[in-house]
Structure 1
Amino acid sequence: MQTTINWQEIEPEIRMNRKKLSKLESTIKCDYSNINGLVIVRDGYIAYEKYFNDKGQDDVQHVASVTKSVISGLIGIAIDAGYIQSVEQKVLDFFPEYITTDQYKQQITIHHLLTMTVPYPFEDWHEPLDVLCQQQDWVTYILDCMGNEGDLGTFKYSTAGAHLLSAIITRSTGKSARAFANEHLFKPLGMKEIPDFQMGAYEFDDLFGKNVQGWVHDPNGISTGGWGLTLTTRDMARFGYLYINNGKWGNNRILSENWITESTKRNSNNYGFLWWLKEDADLFTYSAIGDGGNIICCIPRLNMVVAIASEFMMQPKNRWNFIKEHILPMMHD
């Protein structure tokens, strides 16, 4: 099995059905028009690579909440390197200046943040990110909200919690998540260095669209943990294949195999360590998913990664349905 991705072009029929492949491009243009890039990797080889809307392999795309899964990987690297003790370490251990007598808040661990099982005072899927982005100190604001109005251990999706994990990376390593990733993740994967990016505002296009470049940070230099990272479609495929390949890239061990196992372990919430888990018939997948139709879908049984970079749009067509209906039928077993 390939331990890195072989970017050299190979004959498509080796990995995919050529007749069905010819229909894929027209399907994307007609029904999934905001897809800018699609890379399919199988057994370490490129099975398919195509770009749309005048984009190419060097163009970066804001991957939105795919950023969260990258943050998860960085937490694993920090634990493997001894910067963080374990996922059971208390969140407030990293913020000793934050004084509270709230014993409930004191129980919250990194594990709770990774699995989105921290209570917050907002309705499910109605997180007020606009309020967060108006704060001068995002971390204190999140710590104030954390643990309120809910039960610890109950799933509640939160972008703020992912940002707190980014702050924990900075507190434990002395580097921003971006700088830590460039050194310990992106460079070892053969990616270009991700630049820092200072926003002038945090409005719609800053959160989701054309203004996002490099890796955004909050007003205090903390890399945004829940969004704000730009990657090429090939970079997305690299990251997914690192997980499919149990944490190794070439001869380098980047992530421990145990971290990947724990990150993608099946559970009742269908959510791992900032990865979405899915059982569909006899196929188990785990995916990094971002608003607008960005996805890195890992399919272990097929030793396959599907990376899709998309221009942001509201309520895009479901990417798993696209993969299941238009990509999987093309694959040779």
Structure 2
Amino acid sequence: MRFLIPVLLCIAAPVFGEDYFPKPDSAGGWRTLKDAAAIRKTAGLDLRRLDQAFDYATRTSQHGGLLVVRHGWLVYERYYGRGNREAIPATASVGKVYTSIAVGMGLTEKKAAIPDGLDTKVFNSKYLPQAMPLDDPAKAEITLGQLLSMSAGLHGEGSNPGFIGGVPSVKLNPIPRPATPLDQDLAALRTPLWTQPGGGYSYASSSPHIASIVLRNLTGMEMDDYLDKRLAKPMGWGQWAWAKRRGDVVLPHAAGGGDIALRSTDHLRFLYSVLHKGRWGNQQLIPADYIALCGKPTKWNTHAPMSLMWENNADGHLAGAPKDAFFKSGGGGYGVIVIPSLDMIIYKMSGDDSQYDPARTGLKQDYPYDGSREGWTPALRSQFSDGPIGTDDGVRRIVEMVSAAVVD
């Protein structure tokens, strides 16, 4: 028996990336692996399969890249077109998960002011005075959790259908434009209901924006300022912004529905904290219990796999990915992905020329671009389909392809 103890010590499982957190890029940044053999041995990934995932990604958007971190090692970072580590494009609906996390932090910080948290009914003078008087009395039943899971009953944009019990059961027509345009907040608050709160799911960007108004009212801070203080500075992000320009119009507030503009390796920092249940070094930046809710089915939305702005795979609708994977896609093909069981995070950088325009973000960027993706047209989904690869399809396929690169 005296020989048993050292044997047990030798086979103890290593703690891969648990105690590692990257420095800011300006101070050395992420630890990296470049060699295929080292990537396989240390990170348990097949470089050839990651290259295949990258090749697929290039078919889904005009510009972009693919970055993969496993066990705390940045093992893959490749770009195409205007994609670059120094690029800071507007990432469309990827911003929704940043809105969600900001609200999660605010609920903990201001718990005394909102003791019921996500169960709080917010369409009232205490939490949303901007909404008073209500344009529809049924909105008084909408909870914050429903807003962040898009089950508040608010009409989705475009012709997004209404899902009931997982089935796209209700065809929704686009909302008519008002004769007199509403301001940013009122445009969201006056979104009509297509069903009773909790009665169905429809993808409505007005929902997270309303949640961001609640956060602004609770904290007295603009959401981008709140994120800068609570996440950007502690994590050591480089320059970033919330893109507020829409043509000739500059929005007064960060749009809770999206368009955060972040460097690729800083998206990874955010995801890495989410992977580590909100921790960054010795700081608990994001409430761990809130992150736990993001990655699994939620009571606030029983109609679609959307939990607090994250799509989750608990039902296995991505057959080639672990069931604990959760992620968010954004217009133009962007994707942020967390897979706890694989100790892995993925950033799918994407976008078109307009999303890389510095005028949209107000950030100066200087990096080379060879013009190789000018006039790019989207690839077809397959030889049997005349439609291009969609935003959601592209992200979901990347989740599966990178998961398939795991070899340990």
The reply to whether TM is greater than 0.5 is yes
Matched residue, 1:304: 344
C-alpha deviation, 1:19, in angstroms: 4.2
Equivalent of 2:326 in 283, 286, 299 = 286
Contact (CA 8 Å) 1:117, 1:152: kept in 2 or not? yes
- Give SS of 1:91's match: coil
- Give SS of 1:163's match: helix
AA partner of residue 255 (structure 1) = I
Deviations 1:76-104 (A, max 9, x none): 11011116521122222322351238542
Matched residue, 2:206: 160
Matched residue, 2:8: none
Contact (CA 8 Å) 2:244, 2:254: kept in 1 or not? no
Equivalent of 1:4 in 17, 21, 24 = 21
Matched, 1:331 2:401: no
AA partner of residue 231 (structure 2) = L
Equivalent of 1:228 in 246, 254, 259 = 259
Matched, 1:171 2:247: no
Percent identity over the alignment? 20
Could you tell me which runs of 5 or more consecutive residues in structure 1 were left unpaired when the two chains were aligned.
207-216
- Inter-partner Cα distance in structure 2 for 1:35 and 1:283: 28
| Alignment length (residue pairs) | 314
Matched, 1:46 2:82: no
Equivalent of 1:96 in 129, 134, 144 = 129
Deviations 1:107-139 (A, max 9, x none): 11111101111123465356858948x834222
Of residues 311-320 and 57-66 in structure 1, the stretch that sits farther from structure 2 once superposed is 311-320
Of residues 185-194 and 285-294 in structure 1, the stretch that sits farther from structure 2 once superposed is 185-194
- Give SS of 1:94's match: coil
Matched residue, 2:355: none
- Give SS of 1:40's match: strand
Matched residue, 2:167: none
Matched, 1:124 2:160: yes
AA partner of residue 252 (structure 1) = Q
Deviations 1:39-96 (A, max 9, x none): 1011221121112215321211211101100000000110111165211222223223
AA partner of residue 296 (structure 1) = V
AA partner of residue 4 (structure 1) = F
Matched residue, 1:211: none
TM-score when scaled to structure 1?
0.84
CA RMSD in angstroms comes to 2.8
- Inter-partner Cα distance in structure 1 for 2:209 and 2:72: 32
- Inter-partner Cα distance in structure 2 for 1:56 and 1:293: 16
TM-score when scaled to structure 2?
0.69
Matched residue, 1:60: 88
Based on CA coordinates, which of the two structures has the bigger radius of gyration?
2
TM alignment of 1:234-253, pairs within 5 A = 234-253=265-284
- Give SS of 2:234's match: coil
Could you tell me which runs of 5 or more consecutive residues in structure 2 were left unpaired when the two chains were aligned.
1-17, 23-28, 162-171, 353-377, 379-387
**Distance of aligned partners of 1:12 and 1:127 in 2 relative to their CA distance in 1, 3 Å threshold:** farther
AA partner of residue 266 (structure 1) = P
Contact (CA 8 Å) 2:205, 2:257: kept in 1 or not? yes
Contact (CA 8 Å) 1:35, 1:293: kept in 2 or not? no
Deviations 1:272-319 (A, max 9, x none): 001111223471210021012100111111011110110247735522
Matched, 1:141 2:199: no
